[in-house]
Amino acid sequence: MKRLVAAFALLMIGLCSVAFSQSRSYTVDDLLKVRRVGDPQLSPDGRHVAFTIGDVNFADNRVVNQIYVTAVGGGGELKRLTDGKSSSAAPRWSPDGKKIAFTTGGQVWTMDSDDGGDKKQITKISSGAAAPVWSPDGRWIAFTSDVYADCKDDECNKKRDEQAESSKVKAHIVSRLLYKHWDEWRDVKRTHVFVVASNGGVATDLTPGDFDSPPYAAASGVDYAFSPDSKEIAFLRNPDKVEAISTNSDIYVMPLPQGEPKNITIRNRGYDASPMYTRDGKFIIYRSQATAGFEADRWRLMAYNRATGASVELTQRFDQQVEDVVLSPDGNQIYFTAGERGRHPIFKLAASGGVPQKIVPDIFASGLRITPDGKKLVFLSSSMTAAPDVYSVNTDGSGLMALTSVNRELLGPENLKTA
């Protein structure tokens, strides 16, 4: 999220620079009309991509996101699947491609992937639900919710919220150092990972206790994942008692539906994040920082062997920050983005490690995804003079193509207004 805010700020500066160079300028209203494209998600068959577009609601002074779908082949129209005054976000395809899970109104819903019909509310949890992830067998959806650490069920959380809302005392009483992060209070509730049946029902808290999972500072998107057989889930938590002075987050794995969590990165004292299972289930690929207490440390790419319990670094000969990561379906290649001189090019790396090869230079890529046949990458790309749009490129670096162009009319030079 912070990267998206920074990219949008740079875009605004770039647009003003272009306007100045042409003796023309955008008004504030023009800048606010820029549509925010985000969160591209490929369908299981690789033929379509779902994503969000955010538009400013001037009357309500806020951005409202809706979910759209377009063809990966390009040239197709954008099909809008959600509408209304409330935002819809986090589109995630079911394994069979027939449904899309998403969030709206603080809950997880599903809808038909072809036309957005048959919308069904999956979670009904008082503390809200975010960031849905399907299990590969389609039976479960994992999500996060902020809950009271000492509550054992949703009824307890609901009563505590009602008491806090009705109380005349609004003071914050803190008993630990990490009580506020940026503009958000973190003094009462904890983030936990839940799982619910994909057709709805009572949600189960998989990470009960007085800790955040994923940890607030370490989270890099959705930091939990199901194993290929749907019998295990990997997630993050910080095992240190004084989290305010810790930059440690570890990856835990736990048998499903419920079991004993196991810390698989206990030997590393820096951040571990972004776990993902290889398709054959033999490895968990993740990002890691090695130095305790050093938030700006290099993000390395690691591979954890589930049979031996050993982790090895795959990017020992690479001195840049590994960010978005996707695995090729055949397990032979890893694709990732990394910051380089103000850009985020795409790199390719053999699954056994080695020297990464830059395959798509001179772009700012994020939200990297790969088609099931391993032939194309889909991602967001932006520049100093262009807002993010969804692009595709062949995995050999050829055939770069824009799949969306939602701001073409607004941002074209012919539409710059005279200063």
pLDDT tens figures, 171-191: 988 888 888 878 888 889 999
Binned at pLDDT 50, 70 and 90, residue 21 comes out as very low
Place of tokens 């795409």: 346
Residue-wise pLDDT tens digits, 273-323: 999 999 999 999 999 999 998 989 999 999 999 999 999 999 998 999 999
| Strand partners of residue 130 | 144
Q: Rounded to whole angstroms, how far apart are CA atoms 256 and 33?
A: 46
Q: Looking at residue 54, what is its pLDDT?
A: 97
Cβ-based burial of 33 (10 A; exposed 0-12, middle 13-18, buried ≥19): middle
- DSSP per-residue letters across 309-329: --EEES-TT--S-EEEEEE-T
The average pLDDT across 350-366 equals 95
Residue-wise pLDDT tens digits, 33-79: 899 999 999 999 999 999 999 999 988 999 999 999 999 987 778 99
Q: Are 250 and 234 in contact (CB under 8 A)?
A: no
H or E stretch including 159? helix 154-166
Residue-wise pLDDT tens digits, 146-168: 999 999 999 999 999 999 999 99
- DSSP per-residue letters across 240-308: -S-GGG---BEEEEEESSS---EES-TT--SBEEEEEE-TTSSEEEEEE--STT-TTS--EEEEEETTT
Residue-wise pLDDT tens digits, 233-282: 999 999 998 888 899 999 999 999 889 999 999 999 999 999 999 999 99
- Provide the percentage of residues in the chain whose pLDDT is more than 90: 75
Place of tokens 């199901």: 226
Q: Looking at residue 412, what is its pLDDT?
A: 52
Best CA proximity match to 327, nearest among 263, 392, 271, 395: 395
Pairing of strands 232-237, 346-350: unpaired
Best CA proximity match to 136, nearest among 182, 198, 50, 66: 198
Q: Looking at residue 158, what is its pLDDT?
A: 97
* Contact partners, residue 110, CB within 8 Å, separation at least 6: 94, 99, 100, 101, 102, 118, 119, 120, 122, 198
pTM for the structure as a whole: 0.90
Q: Rounded to whole angstroms, how far apart are CA atoms 159 and 161?
A: 5
Q: What is the DSSP letter of 340?
A: B
Binned at pLDDT 50, 70 and 90, residue 219 comes out as low
The average pLDDT across 17-33 equals 66
Q: Looking at residue 93, what is its pLDDT?
A: 98
User: Tokens at residue 404, please?
Assistant: 């969306």
Q: Looking at residue 182, what is its pLDDT?
A: 80
What is the four-CA torsion angle of 225, 309, 288, 327, rounded to 10 degrees? -50
Q: Looking at residue 199, what is its pLDDT?
A: 97
Residues 196, 198, 204, CA angle at the centre, nearest 5°?
5
**14-to-7, 22, 35, 407 alpha-carbon distances in Å:** 10, 13, 16, 15
Q: Looking at residue 386, what is its pLDDT?
A: 84
**More confident site: 263 or 13:** 263
Assign residue 31 a region: left if phi > 0, alpha if psi is -120 to 50, beta otherwise?
Answer: alpha
3-state secondary structure of 212: coil
The average pLDDT across 197-201 equals 97
3-state secondary structure of 210: coil
Q: Does residue 416 surpass a pLDDT of 50? A: no
Q: Looking at residue 384, what is its pLDDT?
A: 82
